[in-house]
Amino acid sequence: MPILWIATLAALAACGGGSAAADTAAAATPPLPAASAPVTPPVVASVCTAPIAATPTSGVAPSVGNGTPASCTETALRAAVAANAVVRFDCGTVPATIAIGATIELPALRDTTIDGEGRVTLDGGGRARIFRLVNPNYRSNAKGLTLQRIALRNGQAPGSGYVAPNTANPACAYGYADGSGAAIEVRDARLHVIDVDFQGNAAATPGPDVGGGAIYAAGSLDVAIVGSRFVGNSGANAGAVGALQSNLRIVNSTFTGNRAGGTGMNYAGGAATGCPGVGHPSQGGAGGNGGAVTIDGSDDTDVLVCGSTFDANRANELAGALFRTANIAPRKTTLDRSTFSNNTARQGGALFIMNSAPLEITASTFSGNVAVLFGAAHLQNTRFDIVNSTFSGNEATLGLGGALFLNGSGPASTLRNATFAGNRASGGTGYFSAAIFGDANFTIANTVFANNTTLDPFSPMQCGFASASGTNDVQWPPTRPVGGAADSACVAGIVFADPLLGALAAGGGPTPTHAPAATSPLRGAGRDCPATDQRGNARKAASCTVGAVE
């Protein structure tokens, strides 16, 4: 089944001038960094309650190895997973690495647990996919795999069905038709991943429909990832995790230095009309979406990301960290107590989310993300609720929306007790709206816009729209540093006052924040705030503090 990592031409055209600029600015995107050397994955903090737990295995006899590293082999592992519902290892007292030379097929209609107990690494050596768990049906099977306390490294998904670029029409899709999920490929099966390291796994690239450098799941009812680490994985799309028509939960996990290395996105029609495509006709592009995670489909349901960190991931096209499209009915997306930092893309340095209702962003921080267009996030045709969250130091280098670009937003959207500080649209004249560019058909309350700057002397510096409605908001400075003209108000009736924010720092909660000084005018200026702030600290009931921090 093809993966449709799409942002259709129609959807992008609806974005107006900003998305048109994205097409012309593609060449300005810096190249992907070279693959880094293996690193020790960071320890993952337990911020959120895990929806799944590891399978108890201590009472089960080991089925791989007899006490020495040499006895833990690929052959022994193959035999063990074929014969046992629970697989344990006895490789001696020191950590062991098992070289995997060909994909290990796992039974899809049986529950299997593989437990490395923190001492086993499976290494594909850049030659082979490590695990494959495939049932030919679609969203029907509740059986599957629990993978826990193990490392999967250097898996390589075998690319196939290559279509060469069309010299007569460069817009036509090209690349590999298959080659997803280099560590694990799943179809119509349960996948639970607990305390697992994924490093240096590579799906095929380029290609419009391939992705999931570490994990790729299609048509699966339950994919849950808890307390796991993804470092330096890559693919045409979805550098670490790709999900098509699959329910996905990611909790207390980290994604660092993963890459979506395709180019041209994936779209239907337009300049690609009449192209043979790669898997379906009239298809353009060769991927490049979702540096860490990509979720696509019409049959998947809610997506949850909680207590997770996305740092220094990169996409050649859309969404340096996380990309989601719901193709037919709007779907719910929850981003809770998570950090998105230093991610890069051509469009949407951290996020591209389309057709989500609601999109709930709570107690989360977006900092240092960089894109040609829309430094932190591009939200398309989405009803969002952003509360107790911080957007700090994000940058659009040759476009609009240093932090957010909003298009087709549901009028019931809300932005409440947020902090926008030090975001930039740095391209010069013609590039503006360092905090938010886009729709103003929603309410902004108890929110601070501080020192979001541009180099354009003529256009709104912080928010590039007619003033939104709202109450108890604060903005600074009142004038544009370049040219000195009065800046437009982000919200009708907003108060212009220096908020006296401290630097972005660990402030006692799970995500970094800007704390207001003791003499800040934000203190006591808010009304009807949430019960707690971004750190989880209680707010004053009668006169709370404007912004994300009480």
Domain ranges for the chain: 1-30+61-317
pLDDT of residue 439: 87
SS (H, E, C) 124-170: CCCCCCCEEEECCCCCCCCCEEEEEEEEEECCECCCECCECCCCCCC
How far apart, in whole angstroms, are the C-alpha atoms of residue 443 and residue 48?
29
Per-residue pLDDT in tens (0 to 9) along the chain, 550 residues: 344 444 433 333 333 333 222 332 333 344 433 433 445 566 677 899 999 999 999 999 999 999 999 999 999 999 999 999 999 999 999 999 999 999 999 999 999 999 999 999 999 999 999 999 999 999 999 999 999 999 999 999 999 999 999 999 999 999 999 999 999 999 999 999 999 999 999 999 999 999 999 999 999 999 999 999 999 999 999 999 999 999 999 999 999 999 999 999 998 899 999 999 998 899 999 999 999 999 998 888 899 999 999 999 999 999 999 999 998 899 999 999 999 999 999 999 999 999 999 999 999 999 999 999 999 999 999 999 999 999 999 999 999 999 999 999 999 999 999 999 999 999 999 999 999 999 889 999 999 999 999 999 999 999 987 899 999 999 999 999 999 999 999 999 999 999 999 999 999 999 999 999 999 999 999 999 999 999 999 999 889 999 999 9
| Total-model pTM | 0.93
Q: Which of 327, 331, 320 is nearest to 248 (CA)?
A: 331
Beta strand pairing status for 215-218 and 344-347? unpaired
Among candidate residues 154, 110, 109, 112, the one with its CA nearest the CA of residue 136: 109
CB 470 within 8 A of CB 445: yes
Residue type, 277: G
Query: Do 236 and 207 touch, CB atoms closer than 8 A?
Result: yes
Other beta carbons less than 10 A from residue 393's beta carbon: 23
pLDDT tens for 102-122 read 999 999 999 999 999 999 999
- Contact between residue 173 and residue 286 where contact means Cβ atoms under 8 Å apart: yes
